[in-house]
Structure 1
Amino acid sequence: MVVDPDSPQGRGDAAAVLPAVRPGAGGGLDRRRILGAAIEIIDTDGLRALTMRRVGSRLGVEAMAIYHYIPGREAMLDGIVEVVIDELYGDPDVYLAHPDWQEYLQRLAHGVRRIALAHPEVFPLIATRPPAAPWVRPPLRSLRWMESFLHTLIDCGFSDRAAVAAYQAFSSFLLGHLLLEVSAQGADIGPIPEADPGPVKPADLDEYPLLQRLSPQLAEDHSAEEFEESLETLLNRLETFGKD
């Protein structure tokens, strides 16, 4: 049987998330290990099974001990998204910048797909958590990765507007395809009642000058045009099928 190279099996069952501390295993409690335990619970039993008490039990501590590091469930969910997306930085096949934009996007797309396949129950959370700014699109929702994406395409000759359009189209493709893929694997992508996370704090863009410059363009809504262009591209591709 052919093994999907992006699947955990194709990667030698490697796990990028730091394993949680087991009861009696020693080691201190910290935010990273708490989030690792939470991700393990979601990977195994789904998001609906995640509670502060369950995370504490997995770590061998009282739930109240967790609040010293993470103030509540909403902060934990945000932290989970952050930690899982940060797996891209540890993926040797993904580049933060590259002189060939097509290779850059191919490697980045497969990196995000590897995350989705390694954590299919977490991926819907990545798709639905409120982003750092209204114009940040999942699943590539890291400000650093957005800055890298836009810089790479502009350095490769894209105009500002073309780079923004590429980010939006790339995000739409990844999100739609990968949500369908994890759903087909049995992941729960249905709505889960959550507490109101409250207003989204304004993103701190001091370290991201390109995002500061392009944020007005990123905030423009071109959903109708994107849909029509994507549909036309699909129809043109299907036309080639009929000629085979």
Structure 2
Amino acid sequence: MTSADRPGGPGDPDLAAIAGDPLPSERQPLSTERIVDAAVAFIDEHGLPGLTMRRLGTELGVEAMALYRYVPGKEDLLDAVVDRMIARMRADADVLDEPRDGWQDFLVRLAHGVRRIALEHPKAFPLVASRPPEAPWLRPPLRSLDWVEVFLTGLLSEGFTDEAAVAAYRAYTSFLLGHLLLEVANHGADVGPLDVLDDEQGTPEGLDAYPTVQRLRAALSQDRAAVEFEESLEGLLDRMTLLRNEHLA
């Protein structure tokens, strides 16, 4: 009888040792990269609240204690998940490290790169807003010193003053975070105090007192996230143009 047939089931390393079976970690060795990839996959499937070191160990076929050789604790694991998501933009061929066709094109590409990460991992994306950044004064979702450097240097090379570049950074990050947190909430992400109405539910109690809202509910419930993202980004770029010109005057 193998460890798969014994109480505890497959993936129990102690039963595997008793039975003489190869340990799961021997069949596919653990690494920090594999653990972080498994954490991202777990969050994508089950959501962030369900992630524990024990459950992640079960997914990998090892005891939770085996993970601590590579990740000191859950907090460090979540930091690594954030780093992995932000680093994914480096592999996005559409995201630039510097402006090539003007700063507007540069920022549009970066914004869509962040949005693609949010849509690819909606349940993990709120971590970008909640995890402690490398420096406490960095603003999500551009929480990496590398990306903040890219952002500011890119704008400065396009004629922004220091003051205008900082103001643009604040406006840009506020736009991205606010829009994308609302969007991933509609994709099932746990975003804490944000409460998104499930359109499949019946009419909420008390809505009869608001006939206009009730009449327009279908229109209000339409998913226009992509259109709104484009429109809001266009408006933001217009405001940033004014900021740039004001500081040049």
TM range (shorter): 0.5 to 0.7
Correspondence for 1:84? 85
Aligned residues: 174
Correspondence for 2:16? none
Correspondence for 2:221? none
Tell me if structure 1 keeps the 8 A contact 2:25–2:62.
Answer: no
Q: Deviations over 1:117-143 (max 9, x none)?
A: 011111111111111222200011110
Q: Are residue 174 (structure 1) and residue 164 (structure 2) matched?
A: no
Q: CA 1:24–1:70 in 2, change beyond 3 Å: closer, same or farther?
A: closer
Correspondence for 2:120? 118
Correspondence for 2:199? none
Q: 1-side partners of 2:144 and 2:42: how far apart?
A: 23
Structure 2: gaps spanning 5 or more residues: 1-23, 194-231, 240-249
Q: Deviations over 1:53-108 (max 9, x none)?
A: 11111111111111001011111111111111110001111111123111110000
Q: 2-side partners of 1:25 and 1:37: how far apart?
A: 17
Normalized per residue, which structure has more helix? Answer: 2
CA RMSD of aligned residues (A): 2.2
Q: 2-side partners of 1:66 and 1:184: how far apart?
A: 32
Q: TM-score, normalised by structure 2?
A: 0.66
Amino acid in structure 2 at the alignment position of 1:98: P
Q: CA 1:130–1:184 in 2, change beyond 3 Å: closer, same or farther?
A: same
Larger Rg: 2
Q: 1-side partners of 2:156 and 2:43: how far apart?
A: 38
Alignment of 1:30-109 (within 5 A): 30-99=31-100, 100-109=102-111
Q: CA 1:127–1:145 in 2, change beyond 3 Å: closer, same or farther?
A: same
Correspondence for 1:11? none
Tell me if structure 1 keeps the 8 A contact 2:122–2:189.
Answer: yes
Amino acid in structure 2 at the alignment position of 1:88: M
Q: 1-side partners of 2:134 and 2:93: how far apart?
A: 26
Would you identify which runs of 4 or more consecutive aligned residues in structure 1 move more than 6 Å? Answer: none
Q: 2-side partners of 1:26 and 1:108: how far apart?
A: 40
Amino acid in structure 2 at the alignment position of 1:105: L
Q: CA 1:25–1:103 in 2, change beyond 3 Å: closer, same or farther?
A: farther
